Amino acid sequence: MAIYAIGDIQGCARSLERLLDLIRFDPSVDRLWFVGDLVNRGPRSLDVLRYIKSLGPAARAVLGNHDLFLLAVAEGIVALRPKDTIQDVLAAKDRGELLAWLRQQPLHHRDGSHFMIHAGLLPQWTIEEAELHAQEVEAALAGPNFKTLLHHLFHGTIPNWEQTISGPDRLVAITRALTRLRTCTPAGALSPFSGPLDQAPTGYLPWFRIPNRRSANATVIFGHWAALGLHMEPTVLGIDSGCVWGRQLTAIRLEDRRVFQVNCVDTVRKA
């Protein structure tokens, strides 16, 4: 059995198909881990969701910011923007089934020494704490009041994380870190920066470069940062290689860290 971690697909279904052909994926024995942002900006979000859902236990996916955006649009909490390409999901006959499945997906996946999230971990969180915090949000998303969480996430305040924070602000702060973090201060204040690694704003560092980061005892797998590209360190695997921007879709075989990539073959977003 092989486990492959796959970067942000964002609706680039043809590129995913080619990548799975390249790795000779066999769902009866192999496993796929998806770092989130399954949908949006690429042309075939519906096909991506249907395929990953169909894999059942052969796939593990965590939610990214675009996946949460889809859930919010579907509930009328936010409106579509001109650059969004999730209309195929919203119009699908199996829309309800797909969105219910998506809402049940976690924000984290932990297996042995590997810990997968979409974006990043705050420097003050241990892996154990990050897992517990993620589970708080997962329970709220899967529960009957999930619309309240989505409303606060897209229309509420933007709180920084504090251990004593409570209520909706706590869930929003956790979700922002797990699905949007790229750079932050040593105290964990987030920046909206999304550019190349060497252009981080003064006072902010990539979250995985913060001194004494408390999650450094695990290998963290993440996406979200297309400008970072494929980025591999002993305890860090950043695998958003910008497929939706016309670059590559990446898979890493976790057993030996072998990298597999295909060039984007979808009609994708332009800068």
- What is the spatial distance between Cα 182 and Cα 227, in angstroms, rounded to a whole number? 10
Q: From 237, 67, 223, 45, select the one nearest 153 (Cα to Cα).
A: 67
Looking up tokens 């695997």, which residue turns up? 237
Beta bridge partners of 115: 110, 220
For residues 169 and 136, the answer to whether their CB atoms sit within 8 Å is: no
Domain ranges of the chain: 3-263
> What pLDDT is attached to residue 92?
98
For residues 35 and 62, the answer to whether their CB atoms sit within 8 Å is: yes
- What is the spatial distance between Cα 194 and Cα 219, in angstroms, rounded to a whole number? 22
- What is the spatial distance between Cα 250 and Cα 16, in angstroms, rounded to a whole number? 9
Beta bridge partners of 60: 33
- Find all residues with CB under 8 Å of 99, minimum gap 6, and list them: 70, 71, 74, 89
- What is the spatial distance between Cα 214 and Cα 143, in angstroms, rounded to a whole number? 30
For residues 131 and 103, the answer to whether their CB atoms sit within 8 Å is: no
- What is the spatial distance between Cα 179 and Cα 36, in angstroms, rounded to a whole number? 9
Fold designation for 3-263? Purple Acid Phosphatase; chain A, domain 2 (3.60.21)
- What is the spatial distance between Cα 208 and Cα 236, in angstroms, rounded to a whole number? 7
Structure tokens of 139? 């329970």
| Sequential pLDDT tens for the chain (271 residues) | 899 999 999 999 999 999 999 999 999 999 999 999 999 999 999 999 999 999 999 999 999 999 999 999 999 999 999 999 999 999 999 999 999 999 999 999 999 999 999 999 999 999 999 999 999 999 999 999 999 999 999 998 888 899 899 999 999 999 999 999 999 999 999 999 999 999 999 999 999 999 999 999 999 999 999 999 999 999 999 999 999 999 999 999 999 999 999 999 997 554 4
- What is the spatial distance between Cα 146 and Cα 164, in angstroms, rounded to a whole number? 22
Structure tokens of 259? 């990298």
Q: From 152, 198, 146, select the one nearest 176 (Cα to Cα).
A: 152
Structure tokens of 145? 């009041």
Structure tokens of 160? 């920084």
Structure tokens of 132? 């517990």
> What pLDDT is attached to residue 271?
46
- What is the spatial distance between Cα 218 and Cα 239, in angstroms, rounded to a whole number? 16
- What is the spatial distance between Cα 222 and Cα 35, in angstroms, rounded to a whole number? 6
- What is the spatial distance between Cα 81 and Cα 219, in angstroms, rounded to a whole number? 35
Q: Does this model's pTM top 0.75? A: yes
